[in-house]
Amino acid sequence: MAVGPAVLRLAGSRPAVVCLAVICLATVCALAVRPLAGPAAGRAPGQGETPRPSPRQPHATIEPTLPVALEARLVSVSAAARGGTARLEISIAADTDVEELSLDLQLPEGLRVEDGTPTHGWTTALKAHEPRLYAAALAADRNGAFPIRAEVSFRLPDGRSFRAGQGATLRLGSRAPEGRFNAGAYEFRGVPLEDLQR
C-alpha cells in the first residue's frame, strides 16, 4: 500500500514528529482559548455569549403541619361504683384566620353528653393565635374504656379544605393496658380501630 511507507517515513523523521506535535498543541490551545474571547465580529449582540443563569425562584412547598392544632383532654374524671363522669375539653388554635371551623364529636356506645352541648356541627370562627375551647360534660352508666374522637373540618381563605382529628380515652373502673419493653422501645396495646369507628 502506498500510504504505509509514507507514514513510516514520517514517523522515522524526528523533525517531522516534533512539528506535528507542535501543530496539535497549538490547535488545542487555540480551541481552548477561543470561547474566552468576546463575540466574533459580525455577530448580533448576545450571540456566542455564555447565557447567564436567571435568578433562582423559590419553589412552592407543602406545609409540613396543618395551620390548625387540636388538643383533646379529659379533666375532672370521677368514677362511681358503676360508670362515672368527666369533662372533655378540646382546645383549638390556628396560625391563620379561619372563617368557619366545624367540630364533630364521636362518642362510643354507653357514653353521652349531659349538658346539652352539641356533638355534631359545632361551628366557630378562629383568629390567628387566639385559641378557642370546646367543653362538654360526659357521663357513663357502666364501667369500661370509652374511646372519644373529635374531628374538625375547615377551609382556609385561599380555598384549601382540611380535616383533622384528635382522640382521648375515658377509663372508668378499668386500668390502662400494661406495656412492656421490647428491643429498647416501650410498647402497649392501643385502642382497636373498630372501637374508634363505632
User: What does the pLDDT read at residue 192?
Assistant: 64
CATH class given for the domain over 68-174? mainly beta
Nearest to 149 by CA among 176, 116, 120, 126: 120
Q: Give the distance between the most distant pair of CA atoms in the chain.
A: 116
**Rounded percentage of the chain residues whose pLDDT exceeds 90:** 25
The residues of the chain scoring below 50 in pLDDT are: 1-12, 37-38, 40-41
Residue 4's pLDDT is what?
45
Residues 6+ apart with CB under 8 A from 85: 76, 77, 78, 114, 137, 138, 139, 140
Q: pLDDT at position 9, please? A: 46
Could you tell me if 129 and 95 are in contact, meaning their C-beta atoms sit under 8 angstroms apart?
Answer: yes
Q: What is the pLDDT of residue 158?
A: 83
Distance CA 145, CA 39 (A): 81
C-alpha cell at 14: 524526528
Q: Where are the domains of the chain?
A: 68-174
Interval 56-87: pLDDT, tens: 565 666 655 778 888 999 999 988 888 899 99
